[in-house]
């Protein structure tokens, strides 16, 4: 397949797709969207090919099905509309969060599913579809979003990024797969607990990291569903504890269990 630019050398090398955007919300240039993979207009048992021709705003439930980023700005339209997106493998503009700066060729940014930042690129998650390598240096002004020329990565799904503010003594459930970034607080008399649900497909990856603020008093606990995880050393894994800024773990769903593939500052139990 020839992917060369059919035109001037300064044209963006894009892989274009026209899809039906089902959400009523407006879109900005470079904002991410995901496929409506579970569309059930004719029932779940129907071979509904349009599941990968329909897109919607990004969420914790569709984040494993990144479609691409919007090429244009679109006003909100009741009932949906046809839009143009750039697919993984494209060189195109992505939408940065208002506090996000970039340096050309440095790091990765992954699309966000956090409320108020849906479809924006602010933090680094896992590599793969849904992550982008900056090809432009952009300095954030802290007041508004901006666009940045970037290469949309191809490969297995990154799964997006969610940012979670933990609450003292309170349990929560992270999205399946993708990256969960924890904003820590003093955790109170017991550890705030996150349940890591079983994976849905072989090879699914899950990253959890503490950012901005350390979790004091009691570390956050990642409880593996059914307590059947596997440690770095190959033993039984029921939970991982994280507390300091930068503490992180990357899990992979393999053989019906979450396996610790890499971790920093994490206590396994």
Neighbours of 167 (CB within 10 A): 12
pLDDT digits (tens, 9 = 90+) for 92-135: 999 999 999 999 999 999 999 999 999 999 999 999 999 999 99
Q: Does residue 186 have a pLDDT over 70?
A: no
Whole-prediction pTM value?
0.93
The pLDDT, as a whole number, for residue 87 is 98
Residues 267, 219: contact at Cβ < 8 Å? Answer: yes
Whole-angstrom Cα distance, residue 88 to residue 152? 5
pLDDT digits (tens, 9 = 90+) for 57-80: 999 999 999 999 999 999 999 999
Q: Does residue 189 have a pLDDT over 70?
A: no
More confident: 10 or 215:
10
The pLDDT, as a whole number, for residue 237 is 85
| φ and ψ at residue 90, rounded to 5 degrees | -80, 150
Domain ranges in the chain? 16-152, 166-268
- In this structure, what token pair is assigned to residue 269? 């139990």
> pLDDT band at 269, cuts 50/70/90?
confident
The pLDDT, as a whole number, for residue 188 is 59
H/E element, 121: strand 121-123
Q: Does residue 262 have a pLDDT over 80?
A: yes
> pLDDT band at 212, cuts 50/70/90?
confident
More confident: 267 or 70:
70
Residues 6+ apart with CB under 8 A from 115: none
Residues 6+ apart with CB under 8 A from 211: 123, 163, 181, 182, 183, 245
Q: Which of 9-13, 161-165, 222-226 has the lowest mean pLDDT?
A: 222-226
Of the candidates 268, 262, 224, 204, which has an alpha carbon nearest to the alpha carbon of residue 242? 268
| φ and ψ at residue 21, rounded to 5 degrees | -90, 110
Architecture of domain 166-268: Sandwich (2.60)
Q: If you average pLDDT over residues 141-166, what whole number do you get?
A: 94
Whole-angstrom Cα distance, residue 158 to residue 177? 8
- In this structure, what token pair is assigned to residue 71? 């090429």
Q: Which of 79-93, 136-150, 228-242 has the lowest mean pLDDT?
A: 228-242
The pLDDT, as a whole number, for residue 207 is 95
- The mean of the pLDDT values for the chain is 90
Instruction: Give the three-state DSSP class for 51.
Output: helix
pLDDT digits (tens, 9 = 90+) for 41-53: 888 888 989 899 9
- In this structure, what token pair is assigned to residue 246? 């930068």
Q: In whole angstroms, how far apart are CA 189 and each of 52, 192, 236?
A: 47, 9, 27
> pLDDT band at 251, cuts 50/70/90?
very high
Strand order in the sheet with 239-242: 172-173, 193-196, 220-224, 239-242, 267-268
> pLDDT band at 35, cuts 50/70/90?
very high
Find how far residue 220's CA is from the centre of its chain: 21
| φ and ψ at residue 179, rounded to 5 degrees | -120, 130
From first CA to last CA, the distance across the chain in angstroms is 49
């Amino acid at each position: 397949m020839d992917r060369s630019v059919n035109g001037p050398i300064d044209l963006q090398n894009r892989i274009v797709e026209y899809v039906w955007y089902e959400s009523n919300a407006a879109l900005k240039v470079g904002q991410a969207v995901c496929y409506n993979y579970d569309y059930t207009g004719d029932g779940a048992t129907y071979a509904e090919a349009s599941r990968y021709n329909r897109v919607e705003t990004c969420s914790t439930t569709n984040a494993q099905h990144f479609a691409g980023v919007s090429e244009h700005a679109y006003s909100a339209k009741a009932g949906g509309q046809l839009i143009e997106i750039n697919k993984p493998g494209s060189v195109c503009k992505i939408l940065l969060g208002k506090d996000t700066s970039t340096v050309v060729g440095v790091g990765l940014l992954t699309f966000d599913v956090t409320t108020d930042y849906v479809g924006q690129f602010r933090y680094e998650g896992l590599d793969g579809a849904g992550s982008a390598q900056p090809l432009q240096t952009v300095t954030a002004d802290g007041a508004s979003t901006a666009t940045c020329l970037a290469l949309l990565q191809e490969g297995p799904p990154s799964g997006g990024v969610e940012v979670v503010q933990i609450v003292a003594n309170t349990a929560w459930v992270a999205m399946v797969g993708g990256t969960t970034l924890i904003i820590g607080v003093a955790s109170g008399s017991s550890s705030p607990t996150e349940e890591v649900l079983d994976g849905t497909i072989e090879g699914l990856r899950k990253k959890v990291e503490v950012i901005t603020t350390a979790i004091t008093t009691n570390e956050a606990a990642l409880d593996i569903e059914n307590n059947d995880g596997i440690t770095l050393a190959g033993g039984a894994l029921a939970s991982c504890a994280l507390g300091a800024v930068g503490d992180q773990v990357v899990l992979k769903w393999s053989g019906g269990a979450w396996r610790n593939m890499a971790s920093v500052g994490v206590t396994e139990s």
